[in-house]
Amino acid sequence: MALVVFYEKPGCGGNARQKALLTAAGHQLEVRNLLTHPWTAATLRPFFGTKPVKDWFNLSSPKVKSGEIDPASFSPEEALALMVREPLLVRRPLMQVGEERRSGFDGAEVAAWVGLGDQAVPEDIASCMKGHAHTPCPEPEP
């Protein structure tokens, strides 16, 4: 099984479910705080691979949901500069196994990448749990 470096928003219910799925599949997790990690554009960029810039953004972020930020309106350089300043905008989780890095949690992609065993992957595994019956994510400290 793999050692997965897992960057999360502490207290996020969705990230908790994702971590549980990975550990149940036998993976070891090294959990890090996405919001306090000392990101630079160079360290953040590899997590997004060939995804379009709009897919780098956390669509559940208050600034995206309110329309204050339009993920489709940024160049890669602009998006990275903004995300370095405001990591809450980054699509979670960020994961690294060896030198390979990924953003977001698509169950089929993760299963093909590191394996999830014979576990059923809930359809909403990548969804924000705010507003659901689960414990909502706490807001980050100022």
Catalytic pick from 12, 89, 95, 116? 12
Instruction: Supply the DSSP symbol for 26.
Output: T
137 is annotated as an active-site residue: no
- Distance from the Cα of residue 69 to its chain's centroid: 18
Q: Which residues contact 22 (CB under 8 A, 6 or more apart)?
A: 4, 6, 29, 110, 114, 116
Look at residues 2, 31, 11, 5 and name the one whose alpha carbon lies nearest to residue 88.
Answer: 11
Give the pairing of strands 94-97 and 3-8: antiparallel
Residues with catalytic roles: 12
